[in-house]
Amino acid sequence: MKVLPLLVFAMGVVAWEATAQDAQCVRERAAMVEAIRAYARSAAGVLGQQGLSERVLEAMAQTKRHLFIPEQSCSIAYADRPIPIGLGQTISQPYIVALMTQLAEVAPDHVVLEVGTGSGYQAAILAQLARTVCSIEIIPQLAETAAKRLRDLAYDNVSVRLGDGYDGWPECGPFDAIVVTAALGQPPSPLIEQLKVGGRLVMPLGPGYTTQQLTVVEKIAPGKTTTRGVVLVRFVPFTRSQN
Ligand code: SAH
């Protein structure tokens, strides 16, 4: 007889805590977007006067980054910092995710390739701006977790595949944009081949673990590209499969 009211009370407390946590997450996420906006303004040399587009900022505002990190904590998730996601990998700093997305110039009818799915966060951002996102991850456990997470969160236009992204994903392309989130000395030639004319490849060029040049490679004609270094960044290395 006394158990029922107690249970109802306990459920009420749980629901209240969940709502309070949601409200905190919403506040922290809004603060993160403002921090990114301010940072982009102060770095006008990188992006030009127009800064980050409202479309990109809106995607950042809509995406629950706390659901992509192991702790699921909002105070950790919405600081403008990279976060370890296990197996020696990191989810990039939100400003860098926004910057790479902006540089890729993703439009609603675009097909986009991501190399380095990691947590799936960058793929989720791209999914809100493009028609289709194909994402490749080389570490089986990360590929599996990210694919399940994106499915559970109903990002239905994202496909995740386990493999070495060096060779791209020809069956999914050709691509309007390619975003690579691991560092390599040179852009992989299969990725340039799978890029449409007019499309952009955004990736960190340089050795892993030190600083690299975030670079935009634009395909201006078949077999012809232009390359522009944007800003120094620090990414994990691009690894190659053994076979
Ligand atoms: N974009 C991710 C961050 C990725 S960190 C996110 O939003 O969370 C870089 C990722 O690239 C790691 O998960 C790493 O395993 C992966 N990676 C490194 N080399 C790769 C390769 N050759 N092919 C596919 N993925 C690769």
What is the domain partition of the chain in residue ranges? 3-233
Q: In the predicted model, is pLDDT for residue 243 greater than 60?
A: no
pTM (two decimals): 0.92
Q: Which of 20-29, 94-103, 156-165 has the lowest mean pLDDT?
A: 20-29
Q: Which atom of ligand 1 is nearest to the CA of 136?
A: 24
Residues assigned a catalytic role: 92
CATH superfamily, region 3-233:
Vaccinia Virus protein VP39 (3.40.50.150)
Beta carbon of 238 within 6 Å of any ligand 1 atom? yes
Beta carbon of 90 within 6 Å of any ligand 1 atom? yes
List pLDDT tens digits, range 90-137. 999 999 999 999 999 999 999 999 999 999 999 999 999 999 999 999
The whole-number pLDDT of residue 72 equals 87
- 3: how many CB neighbours lie within 10 A of its CB? 7
Q: Whose CA is nearest to atom 14 of ligand 1?
A: 116
Beta carbon of 166 within 6 Å of any ligand 1 atom? yes
Rounded to the nearest angstrom, the distance between the alpha carbon of 157 and the centre of ligand 1 is 19
Q: Which of 30-44, 140-154, 216-230 has the lowest mean pLDDT?
A: 30-44
Write out the DSSP string of 122-178. HHHHHHTTSSEEEEEESSHHHHHHHHHHHHHTT-TTEEEEES-GGG--TTT-SEEEE
Beta carbon of 56 within 6 Å of any ligand 1 atom? no
Q: In the predicted model, is pLDDT for residue 3 greater than 70?
A: no
Q: In the predicted model, is pLDDT for residue 16 greater than 70?
A: no
